[in-house]
Amino acid sequence: HVQLVESGGGSVQTGGSLNLSCALSGDEYGRYCMTWFRQSPGKDREGVAGFWPAPSGAAYYAESVKGRFTIYQDNSKNTLHLQMNSLEPEDSGTYLCAASRRTRTCGEMWYAAEKFTYWGQGTQVTVS
């Protein structure tokens, strides 16, 4: 039974940084295409950054976060991270980690919420 648990959210001022973590349990981490989604009031769930661990760790980013956010893995802990720098008020929202076994098409579907089966509960990020 796959479970995802996020942590690391909080409240920061504009220009600040946060590092989010998503721990996967119940299966082998490297089998999943994984994405950080952002849910803001009145907006659709948005794919922020995606990651396909094998074979070389491909990362994908929404245009709005390129150059500011970095997605990376900690294999030893089955954990996916999202380093967020230069945060803006528009980055505020609930950040959810999601995993999908559709690994061969990860590069094409990493941002599509309907393609993901497993979801965490989310962690809140507030930028003011």
Q: Is the pLDDT of residue 56 over 80?
A: no
| DSSP codes joined into one string, 12-24 | E-TT--EEEEEEE
The string of pLDDT tens digits covering residues 15-44 is: 999 999 999 999 987 889 999 999 998 999
Residue 33, beta-bridge partner list: 100
Q: Is the pLDDT of residue 93 over 90?
A: yes
Are 126 and 91 a contacting pair, CB within 8 Å? no
Q: Which residues contact 15 (CB under 8 A, 6 or more apart)?
A: 86, 87
Mean pLDDT of 101-107: 84
Q: Is the pLDDT of residue 123 over 80?
A: yes
Mean pLDDT of 104-121: 93
